[in-house]
Amino acid sequence: MRAAAILGLGCSPEGLRPFQSQNDVDWRIGLPVSNQEADVILLFGGDGTIHRHLAQLVRLGLPVLVIPAGSGNDFARAIGFRRVRDSLRAWQDFCAGKRNIKTIDVGVISAFGSADEARAPNNQRYFCCVAGMGLDAEVARLANHLPRWLRGHGGYALTLIPTIFRFAPLSMKISKIVDSSGASAQNSESITLSHQPTLLVAFANTSVYGGGMKIAPRAKMDDGFLDICVVGGIDPFKLFCLFPTVYAGRHLNVRGVQYFQAPQVRVETEHPVEVYADGEYVCRTPVEIGVQRNAANLIVPA
C-alpha cells in the first residue's frame, strides 16, 4: 500500500512515526499529483489545513485519514477523532482490511458578480465544516491574528465576546435555489428563506465549529443538505446570554434564531461582506453556497 502524508503548519515527520508501524506501507511526504501515486492520504492538521487542500483531495478521490493536529480541529471532532490516538486506531483498522471508509458531501461556495460567473470552475471554493458571514466572519478574521496556541485554546470564544457588543446587523437576503439547471446565477428560480437584519449566518456541513460550538446540531455530512442557522438583529446582551447555549446546541428555540435546510442557497447583501469558511477568508457577497454530493472519502472509526 502507498500512503502520502500531508503535514500541516506546526507538524513534523516525528508525528508520523506511530502510523508507520505497518511494514507493508510505502510512504511519501506531500500531496500526490494524481491518484496513481498513492492509495491513501494521511492529513496532519486542523480545519485550515483541510480547507487549503480540500479541492485537490476531492479531485483525487482517495481515502483520507484526518489526524487532529491543528489549532482548530472541528472537522476531526465531527468525524469522531478527538485525539491523535483516535485516528491511529482507525488507521490500524484500515490497515487490517476493515474498510472503515465513509463518503461525505463537501460545501461549495461560488461568488458571482455577473451572469454565469458562479458556474466558472475556478470561481468555486470547497469547505469541509461551516461557512459564515456577519459576526461569525468578523470573529474568524480577528481570531486569525491571535497566536496559534491561543486559537486552539478558546481563541474563538475570547474574540467573540467583545465583538458581540460592537457588531451591527447586516441587511441580508438568503434564498433557496429551486432549480438552477441551465439558468444563470442571478436568474434561476428561488424562494426567499430569510430577508432581515442579520447578525450571523452559518451554512453548515458539520454540526460543530469555532472550537466545539454546535451551531448546527442536526447537520449531517452525507445528507445532501446545508444546515443554515440565522441569528437576526437581536439585542447584544441577549446574544451574549445566548452564546453559552450554542455549545450544547440549545439555541435553536431562542426567539430571533432561524434554522432550516437547503441543498443550495443564494446570499445577497446591501453592500459586499466577507465570507469565511473553515476559519479562512474565501470571498465577498453575493454568493451561492451549496453541497457537492459524495465528494470525499474519509477513514472513520470502525
**Phi/psi zone of residue 212: left (φ > 0), alpha (ψ -120 to 50 degrees), beta?**
left
Give the separation between CA 100 and CA 290, rounded to whole angstroms.
27
Q: Find, among 27, 32, 35, 66, the residue nearest to 49 by Cα.
A: 66
Q: Which domains does the chain have, with CATH numbers?
A: 2-105 (3.40.50.10330), 107-293 (2.60.200.40)
How far from chain centre, in Å, is Cα 280?
Answer: 9
Tens digit of each residue's pLDDT, the chain (302 residues): 999 999 998 888 999 999 998 778 999 999 999 999 999 999 999 999 999 999 999 999 999 999 999 878 999 999 999 999 999 999 999 999 999 999 999 999 999 764 444 444 457 999 999 999 998 888 888 877 666 666 655 666 777 777 888 888 899 999 999 875 544 455 568 899 999 999 999 999 999 988 788 999 999 999 999 999 999 988 888 888 888 888 888 999 888 899 999 999 999 999 999 999 998 999 999 999 999 999 999 999 99
CB 100 within 8 A of CB 299: yes
CB 31 within 8 A of CB 55: no
* Residue 19 grid coordinates: 502510523
Pairing relationship of beta strands 2-7 and 63-68 according to DSSP bridges = unpaired
